[in-house]
Amino acid sequence: MSEKRGLTAEDLYRFVWVGAPDVSKADGRIVYTERTVNAAKDGYHTRIRVLSPDGSKDTVFTSGEQDASPSWSPDGSRLAFVRKQGDKRQIWLLPADGGEARVLTDLPEGAGDFAWAPDGSRLLVSSQSEAALGGSDEEVPYPGSGSATEPNADVSGPDKPLAEVVVDRIRYRGDGSGLWNGRRNHLFVVDAASGEAKTVTSGAFDIGSFAWSPDGSTIAYTAYIPEDGEDGVDPDLLWISDLYVADASGGSRRKLTDSSWSVGQPAFSPDGSKIAFFASDHSYHNATLNRLYSIPAEGGDIVCLADDRDLLIGNFVVGDMRSGLGSPEPLFAEDGRSVYALFTRHGSAGLARFAADGSGHEVLLEGDRDVYQLTPDHRGGFVVAISDPLNPGDLYRFSPDTGEETRLTDANSAWLGEHELSAPESFWIDTQDGLKVQGWIMKPVGFSAADSSSEPKKVPTILEIHGGPHMMYGHTFMHEFQLLAAQGCAVLFSNPRGGHGYGQEFVNACRGDYGGGDYRDLMEIVDYALANYDYVDETRLGVTGGSYGGFMTNWIVGHTDRFKSAVTQRSISNWISFYGVSDIGPYFTKDQIGGDPWQDTELLWKHSPLAYVQQMRTPLLILHGEQDLRCPIEQGEQLFIALKRLGRKTRLVRFPGASHDLSRGGHPSLRVARLSYIAGWMDEHL
């Protein structure tokens, strides 16, 4: 038997990601998606598999290159799913007993999310449609090429000449989606037999999430729709979404909230009398915790169902395994007396049951792991998707009444059995100003303290810093961490103030203080590791992070020389320019730092790592995606040029076609390259 080895960057090509489970109410069969790397196309292959109720039989159910979002019809006779062919996604139907799938929709811009009507006769589908550029519902065609999301290199030539793009709104581009194409996201009701689509919503606004009422007569959806005659702040600067109910045929709508919330994921109670939803009331601006609420479907008082104000609803664990997953909607119990939802706390994501009258909640599923998806089964329980630090993720059946768990899949056993992984050890520190901060440390793979010398064996140690900042490291699988541990490094990571999972005041504590208390927390984490783990080598410390973690990496090397190697990823270096070039710049800069460039230049520059570039002497590798619109590449370019001008050790690596999401969902070859650059730079300098 061959000796086990640590992970390499190239092991990404062997990973299997499972998710999107759905259970047939007819016979309990479970469909789910299996995602693997398609090396030949430098992309991904997603297909749908079907499991027997007990998990004993697991077979491939669809044969498309990119099949996703499987959903059984209410009677279990058909499976609807989204298949991408060419550049469009449409909904397809497949008989429950197998056979040939047929395409159902022919929407001009393709199909997005969808939901079966309760009687199975229709589907509610989101899709883009032409929309007004102004504030009215009048349809205005978009000038230019008609699809500003396509890069110029793909539209030039004699048959498709270059065209100008006219911009009239602040939110005219988005990371991952590119330039706004002049269309809005709206709802259509599609006949499940004929595929005929009827418009349900239209106008100069975007629909968010949506749900059917139990009798199929009405729908609930989220959107921000300016009222007639409303005058004030540009809607693109208002991160607000209201809850509406409307006739399913596209009739009049009723607004249930007062435009002071960000509402998402509505779900009707079994009798249709209530709607549960997740929402932020903006009391702490961008740092406000999501909570669980309900409201009468006819309108009325909103009730908070999460009695603990510091309990964050939803999954906010950050990792490098999954891209754009989001949190599943709240789920009512069959008797309507309780609501189930995921929550985030102390590095874990779990499942809780909330009383529908707001009287309390109980935790059902927690522990050192990451519950990232759930769906009800046919027997009053759930099928859940769970990851932990030693497994990218599998499906389990869970009974809320007995607490029993049954494993249903073992998707990565083929390669996991060949590898030795490092398990994180959790610890807490008390900061000098009275906060409790959680951290973890991973020993190098195969580490043994035994040495022929009397001195403790020392290893290089790398501090990892998460993005957000309002996200959370936790008990989930991290390829990057395992790679560094396999290379012989200890890996140190934590959730400094500003991170989720530790209460409302904690997550709000970094706003207006970037580079202050959060920086001190990280340095105290390092101090704790040096004092308590004798294998940590003080002379060989590295630091890396992405997004906010990239900002903080830049900040750290501008304020201390204790680190001998640094890698900054998709970072922020200059808040003044970030304001105008990022897809979230105007509202995020104002909210997190506290000013606008034209009147608060000194404040923004004070919090900009670039202001301290003359103090940066740590060798710094700068990794950046060329299509990153969240933290555009000019942020990395400014820092690189300044460092080169000062004669410092630095290098800029540009990833073509890569968005801010490179580490989680980018082209596999670029993900492997990114990991290799991080590991190589740390190896060279530590």
For the annotated catalytic residues, the residue numbers are 547, 660
Q: Order of strands, edge to edge, in the sheet holding 650-655? A: 425-430, 436-442, 490-494, 459-465, 536-546, 565-569, 620-625, 650-655
| Cα 189 from Cα 339, distance rounded (Å) | 27
Angle at 657 between CA 652 and CA 660, to 5 degrees: 75
* Per-position DSSP letters for 219-243, written without gaps between them: EEEEE--PPTT--SS-GGG---BEE
Q: What is the 3-state secondary structure (H, E, C) of 238-279?
A: CCCEEEEEEECCCCCEEECCCCCCEEEEEEECCCCCEEEEEE
Q: Do residues 514 and 551 make contact, with C-beta atoms less than 8 angstroms apart?
A: yes
| Cα 477 from Cα 655, distance rounded (Å) | 24
* Per-position DSSP letters for 486-541, written without gaps between them: HTT-EEEEE--TT-SSS-HHHHHTTTT-TTTHHHHHHHHHHHHHHHH-TTEEEEEE
| Cα 241 from Cα 258, distance rounded (Å) | 9
| Cα 113 from Cα 186, distance rounded (Å) | 11
Q: Do residues 81 and 48 make contact, with C-beta atoms less than 8 angstroms apart?
A: yes
Token pair, residue 639, equals: 């820092």
State the burial class of residue 38 (Cβ atoms within 10 Å of its Cβ: 0-12, 13-18, 19+).
Answer: middle
Number of C-beta neighbours around residue 561 at 10 A: 10
CA distances from 537 to 451, 460, 530, 541, 682 (A): 15, 6, 8, 7, 14
